[in-house]
Amino acid sequence: MYFSKKLACLCTLLSASGLVISAPTPNEDVKTAELEPRSLRYPSVDQRLFNINGKTQYFAGTNTWWLGHLFSNDDVDLALSEIAATGYKVTRVWAFGSTNNPATETNVYFQTLNSSGQYFNYNTRNGIARLDYAIAAAEQYGIKLILPLLNNFDDLGGIITYTNVYGGTHQGFYTNVAAQAAYKKYIKFIVQRYKSSTAIFSWELCNEPRCSGCSSDIIYNWAKSISAYIKQLDGNHMVSLGDEGWLTSTSARVPGYEQSYAYTGYEGVDFERNLGIPTLDYGTVHLYPQSWGYNYTWGNTWIEQHNYIGKAAGKPVIMEEYAVPDTEDRVAIMGTWQDTIVNRASLAGDMNWQFGTRFASGVNPFDDFAVYYNTSEFQVLGTGHAKAMAGKNGRSAPLVATG
């Protein structure tokens, strides 16, 4: 998800409190029974589902891109306690954060890239210690984390922070030798730091990678190479691409295929082909009809098409982002998509964009898509849906088969 508006709020309201890294205590508002039991097992693929904490299951989750970029430990604990109380199993947290000029940086950031070199930020107030705390807290609350290692967009230091230093275009990043060497150095820094954590669900190559106008070979070859590199560093955790699920003529046989934007391969991504990469453990798909020029009902088609492809490949697929702005009837629109996921598909899980709450520090990293904890719509789209996904466990198949 492109999220510049979120950062404007975050920059102006971040707390400047200090940090002491320690194992957090679960929020007292959440009963112990509501927390997912801790496990020494790493999440893993089990056919088209995932084994989480020793149980093969469908799951509901959410996105909290900001969790490792908060200055306040209390804010981190509040969010995770509410996520656990909801029944969510997995949340997605940005593990990237680069800057070309640390002297003017107001956000948490994890590395500097500039003409003098590549440096990791160990500052306890605004550096990697913030992600340290978020991961330690997730372990305590029994929540699993998907960690994207790069951003396609400019926010929080995306691909542009590499091309600013190593030259070339956005499209050229994927084959730029110097840029890829720096990216792999950052991957190694993050993966080796956290590879023993049971809170990690998967490493993700990029948030919504795109190579607009490129052959799909570019991202396919890049994903194949980088995912294999991560597997060499860490054989215990899963790896995913983090793409939006764009289709090409490769998938022309899929029911409902049409010659329109999402199916043309314009963004340089071929979901079905990439799903075949052995070192990518599962597929991801995002859903923003209103941004892509489709009506909301088309969202059900998009869900069923990726379920069809995942079934054919024998791999799990996660609906990793989906959202509707708060100006729309979200309960009706998103509720229909959720019904399709629960009753007409066998996607392993889904994660709405994004989780919203009220932080005591006053920080507000949310956008118009946030669904706020404990509101009436959250009771349906959050708590209610998590219960429905948990209810699928033990069912042999969707109520209506879709291929």
| Residues 389 and 89: beta-carbon distance below 8 Å | no
Buried b (16+ CB within 10 A) or exposed e, 183-202: bbebbebbbeebbebbbbbb
Selected catalytic residue, list 139, 267, 320, 321: 321
**CB-based burial of residue 31 (10 Å sphere; 0-12 exposed, 13-18 middle, 19+ buried)?**
exposed
Catalytic residue among 208, 267, 272, 304: 208
82 is catalytic: no
> For residue 345, how many C-alpha atoms fall within 13 Å in the half-sphere facing its CB?
29
Query: What CA–CA distance (Å, rounded) separates 190 from 202?
Result: 12
C-beta neighbour count of 363 within 10 angstroms: 21
Active site residue 258: no
Say how far apart CA 275 and CA 279 lie, in whole Å: 9
Residue 115 to residues 109, 118, 142, 164: CA-CA distances in angstroms? 18, 8, 41, 9
- 340 dihedral zone (left: phi>0; alpha: psi -120 to 50; beta): alpha
Q: Which positions are annotated as active-site residues?
A: 208, 321
